Amino acid sequence: MKDKLVGYFGFGSLVNKHTLRTSYVDIMRASLKGYSRHWQARSTAIFDNHTSLLSIHPDETCTIKGMIVLDLLENLPLVDEREEGYSRHKLEHSQLEVSPNVELPEEIYVYIADEVEDASDNGSLLQSYLDAVMQGFRNEYGTHGVSHFVDTTKGFNRAINLDRHTPLYPRNVELMDHEKALFDMELKRAGVLGL
């Protein structure tokens, strides 16, 4: 139906509005209850299977901050294409925390990474992808938002591909020097190898 709205919860790069590629209607802060983030080796047309991207898994002890993107239903196939290697899952409104008086559309989704054949593959992190994710959290939640992202994401103890100056991530962003310093400091705190 033309002009019908849907929403999708972003917990990684979708938090950064500079990475969005559809003519979305709105984007707002939100939290998702009962999930935490983790790094998972991925194999897509863009990345080989030695690169890790973000996903989420059930965790009743955790609530993660992110953003809800309100978009036109007709744009959803474009988002599905962007989220290659992820499956779209419907969320209940009770799983979400948003500002009072926010009226959400009936359909809200989240993209969860598909299972990989070798769950033991400890793929490396991509610095340009992390820069986009962490800039989104800093822009929306301040420096404590970057710390929250690190503290609610499992599996940082892996190598990093330092591609900031020649970005491999197709929706890469430009950083200020103070952002670079903050992000690198947080990643060292998280135990990332090679910084």
Asked if 45 contacts 102 with a C-beta cutoff of 8 angstroms, the reply is no
Asked if 58 contacts 35 with a C-beta cutoff of 8 angstroms, the reply is yes
Look at residue 103 and tell me if it is in a domain. Answer: yes
**What does the alpha-carbon distance between residue 146 and residue 160 come to, in Å, rounded to a whole number?**
18
Count of domains observed in the chain: 1
Asked if 9 contacts 112 with a C-beta cutoff of 8 angstroms, the reply is no
3-state class of 69 per DSSP? strand
130: domain CATH number? 3.10.490.10
Paired strand residues for 31: 65, 97
Look at residue 9 and tell me if it is in a domain. Answer: yes
Look at residue 195 and tell me if it is in a domain. Answer: no
Q: Provide the whole-model pTM.
A: 0.93
Q: What are phi and psi of 81, to 5 degrees?
A: -65, -40
Token duo for residue 47: 């990345």
Pairing of strands 5-10, 108-113: parallel
Range of the domain at 154: 5-190
The model's pLDDT over 154-170, given as tens digits with 9 standing for 90+, comes to: 999 999 999 999 999 99
Token duo for residue 97: 């925390």
Q: Average pLDDT for consecutive 10-residue bins of the chain (195 residues)?
A: 87 96 94 95 64 92 97 95 92 96 94 74 89 98 97 94 94 97 98 92
